[in-house]
Structure 1
């Protein structure tokens, strides 16, 4: 979860509480193995819609609800809201075992020139009636899948299928060690016009994230808790979007 659209890629989303880290499983029944692609959809300035595919690799039919939420970062934390600028069609689908379903992500409002807008696609598995009717609260599990969606206005240099669909100058990023609820945390600020996807992050040579740490949206900052024992930092290294050049920086002064 760079996370902008390149060549179609598949992500096998096996039911697991580890999926997408911040999105936890919620109560209901599930026996589904869902394949979703692309995992990095985007809408360029001239795009009215783009495609999202769901394929049921399980042995039973699955009903899925698809929603698109507005995504911002407020006071260093994720913030989601209902919106109608981009919608999913159809919003609810029943996918038979071994079948796949096309979902269209449709832009309904123009994106301001020079801006990148961020959204989160939530794909919820709806429990089968025979399980939900007889299940006791807290017994069943329903999985939620979450994908980023970035939408562009005129003037943003977005290149579909490029190795680096959008470029963010590393000079637009800064970081510092801070505290969050009394615990050490890293705060990363993005002063650029497009998002920063941070992965393979280390501080002073100590690994903070082997894979994806998360996103810092355009004009925002984001905080993450640090592992025990990391209370200061002199050098941060990270991969940003799909730029092959590693971001290496000291803390902001």
Structure 2
């Protein structure tokens, strides 16, 4: 078997290993993994660390995070900035990064952003056969007013083609982090959508999960079970 064929066979496996390895295995570390700032506060600190043996270059960008048609959407923004936008760290060093809301408009409810931290590729690779994987962190960033209301979710189940769509609408003033999401029909049949993080229902927004198969017995009723920011979720879904 030639070296090229071996590399082609190994690449998918290597991608899988890197995608599933814990964050601690990466040379670029970011802490905390979520930023939550309540007014009158307008800034926060993230700490970047280089735990590897080589110098790390990183780019930091901030995007407005909204949900449209039940899907996450990231758009460029000038309301929140990261300072500095580029970081160079020697091995074993840490760097404090500032996240600043520069908009002069008062926060209405809660604003959601995503901070993307990308490890930039080396300008001068050390070898032609070197395979190097760069890391990206996507950090949720929230700015909220002091009296923002708690999240309030309503659920809808609807058949779609051979599958179904589960919709969560958040009419509250703050987001809800949803994990371990599963359904149970009126006939006792279960369906697991996610055993870990399922997503965020942003304030005043809707998130959808599309599944390829239908839940048996859904016409007899559907109940939603999950883990949220304020404890376990157990709610009845409207069936359409």
Task: Give the structure 2 partner of residue 210 of structure 1.
Answer: 195
Work out the CA distance in 1 between the residues paired with 2:180 and 2:81: 32
Greater length-normalized contact order (CA 8 Å, ≥ 6 residues apart): 1
1:149 to 134, 138, 141: 141
Task: Give the structure 1 partner of residue 225 of structure 2.
Answer: 237
Work out the CA distance in 2 between the residues paired with 1:197 and 1:212: 8
Deviation of residue 181 (structure 1)?
8.2
2:148 counterpart SS class = coil
Work out the CA distance in 2 between the residues paired with 1:91 and 1:112: 25
1:190 to 166, 170, 174: 170
Task: Give the structure 2 partner of residue 46 of structure 1.
Answer: 40
**Residue-pair matches, total:** 213
Deviation of residue 140 (structure 1)?
5.3
1:251 counterpart SS class = strand
What TM-score comes out, normalization by structure 2 length?
0.78
Query: Structure 1 regions of 5+ residues with no counterpart?
Result: 1-14, 21-30, 158-166
Deviations 1:195-226 (A, max 9, x none): 11101211114432222111011111111233
Q: Which runs of 4+ in 1 moved over 6 A?
A: 132-136
1:16 to 15, 18, 22: 18
Deviation of residue 186 (structure 1)?
1.6
Work out the CA distance in 2 between the residues paired with 1:174 and 1:132: 54
Bigger proportion of residues as helix: 2
Q: Is 1:219–2:199 an aligned residue pair? A: no
Deviation of residue 107 (structure 1)?
1.2
Query: Structure 2 regions of 5+ residues with no counterpart?
Result: 1-16, 185-189
What root-mean-square deviation, in Å, do the aligned CA atoms of Structure 1 and Structure 2 show? Answer: 2.8
Deviation of residue 112 (structure 1)?
3.2
Cα distance, 1:106–1:211 mapped onto 2, change above 3 Å: same
